[in-house]
Amino acid sequence: MSILADVARIAGVSKSTASRALSGRGYVSDGTRRRVEDAATELGYVVSSTAASLVTGRTRNVGVVIPYINRWYFAEVLEGIESALIRAGYDLTLYRLSTDRDLRRRVFDYFLVRKRVDAVISVAIDLSPHEVQMLQALGKPLVGIGGRIDGIPSLSIDDVEIARLATEHLLSLGHRRIMHVGGDQNEQMDFRVHSQRYTGFSQALRDAGVIVDDDFRQADFSIEGGYAIGLAVLGDPRTRPTAIFAGCDEIAIGITVAARQLGINIPGELSVIGVDGHPLAEMFGLTTLAQQPGAQGARAVELLLNQLEHADAAPPDEHLLLPTALTVRSSTAARRDAAV
């Protein structure tokens, strides 16, 4: 492995000139630059990013903490982040935070702190004030995706609002027996996404003066989770809802599969609406509120790099609310038995 000193020697210049020539910072004559570059390629020289980081204090590496990888929304966000970072010449170091508190502590107290990352993106993780403060004390820019975090810029969709919108869509179609199948209200990791979606749902019902006694089921945020609830809820034709607002498209799809299996016609006997814009939604004719997680990831990177590269730049607005698109397909329709 050749080092800068070798390159300098071959090119017949000093280390400092070689460094300037290769990094493009500072004055170097064209001829010298060429000689250095030739020497570098001849030797197959590549800078040691460790050495460079040590002196500059910047690693060109961003840490990403994320609770799941194998779930559409998260994978999509991650891909968006990865592409944007690579394009900007940054590395991405991945930390998956399970519900394990010890592991979480280790990631924050040990991994993220060692001057190894320049900044952190936190995806759908409700950082504690202590965690935020620890990272900020290190002067590391921090951006959140998927929920609001006090004191740091973050971006997400408006969970209360989309839930309200989805529910209003069902209400406007004449549905009254509406159920929300969503996530665990008390889950720690996912911000308050689940409870916010429930809130929007109930607000819409309340505003419409609709009272539903059995209005919620908790499901795993997956197709299997939706399927299991679907089978459980849709069996009895006398009690089953005429419309379901699912907490995400995976759940909605699971419910759809269960309904089809039970011979329940969608949207004839049951309307279903989801949230996400999952690629499978189209195949199942699912009406959904589409968001673009990949774009969210890219946007977060943009905010971060802006802070990193113009240290003077004020940190961006506290919280950005991103748009969703109501995509109506064939899974929602007017209630058939128009009379209640």
Min separation Cβ 36 and a copy of itself, Å: 18
The only residue of 32, 53, 202, 327 in contact with a copy of itself, by rule CB under 8 A: 53
The only residue of 41, 48, 133, 172 in contact with DNA, by rule CB under 7 A: 48
The only residue of 16, 23, 29, 48 in contact with a copy of itself, by rule CB under 8 A: 48
Helix (H) / strand (E) element for 62: namely strand 61-66
Residues 6 or more apart in contact with residue 126 via CB below 8 angstroms: 147, 149, 188, 189, 190, 191, 192
Gap between the Cα atoms of 168 and 241, Å rounded = 15
Question: Based on the number of CB atoms within 10 Å of its own CB, is 185 exposed (0-12), middle (13-18) or buried (19 or more)?
Answer: middle
x/- map, 86-105, a copy of itself, by CB under 8 A: x----xxxxxx------x--
The only residue of 5, 14, 69, 330 in contact with a copy of itself, by rule CB under 8 A: 69
Site residues (CB under 8 A) for a copy of itself, limited to 127-146: 138
Q: Is 79 among the residues that bind a copy of itself (CB under 8 A)?
A: yes
Question: Based on the number of CB atoms within 10 Å of its own CB, is 244 exposed (0-12), middle (13-18) or buried (19 or more)?
Answer: buried
Q: Is 280 among the residues that bind a copy of itself (CB under 8 A)?
A: yes
Q: Is 23 among the residues that bind DNA (CB under 7 A)?
A: yes
Min separation Cβ 39 and DNA, Å: 12
| Residues in the chain, total | 340
Site residues (CB under 8 A) for a copy of itself, limited to 196-215: none
Q: Is 321 among the residues that bind a copy of itself (CB under 8 A)?
A: no
The 10 Å Cβ neighbour count of residue 265 is 10
Phi, psi (deg, nearest 5) at residue 84: -65, -40
The only residue of 44, 55, 311, 338 in contact with DNA, by rule CB under 7 A: 55
Gap between the Cα atoms of 303 and 300, Å rounded = 5
| Span from 12-20, 152-160, 252-260, 318-326 in contact with DNA (CB under 7 A) | 12-20
Tell me the angle at which helices 193-207 and 159-172 cross, rounded to the nearest 10 degrees: 40
Gap between the Cα atoms of 138 and 231, Å rounded = 50
Pair 234, 240: CB distance under 8 Å:
yes
Min separation Cβ 96 and a copy of itself, Å: 5
Nearest CB to a copy of itself, comparing residues 96 and 319: 96
Answer with the entry of DNA, a copy of itself, none that 61 interacts with (C-beta below 5 to 8 A by kind): a copy of itself
Does residue 153 have a cis bond before it (omega within 30 degrees)? no
Answer with the entry of DNA, a copy of itself, none that 45 interacts with (C-beta below 5 to 8 A by kind): DNA
Q: Is 22 among the residues that bind DNA (CB under 7 A)?
A: yes
For strands 243-246 and 154-157, give the pairing. unpaired
Q: Is 219 among the residues that bind a copy of itself (CB under 8 A)?
A: no
Helix (H) / strand (E) element for 154: namely strand 154-157
Residue located via tokens 């064939």: 330
Q: Is 109 among the residues that bind DNA (CB under 7 A)?
A: no
Token couple for 202: 């109930």
The only residue of 101, 105, 260, 336 in contact with a copy of itself, by rule CB under 8 A: 260
Closest by CA position to 304, among listed 293, 315, 319: 315
Gap between the Cα atoms of 185 and 178, Å rounded = 18
- Residues of this chain that interact with DNA (CB under 7 A) are 1, 3-5, 12-17, 19-20, 22-23, 25-32, 45, 47-48, 51-52, 54-57
- Residues of this chain that interact with a copy of itself (CB under 8 A) are 1, 46-51, 53-54, 59, 61, 69-70, 72, 75-76, 78-79, 82-83, 86, 91-96, 103, 106-107, 110-111, 113-116, 138, 222-224, 227, 254, 257, 260-261, 279-280, 282-284
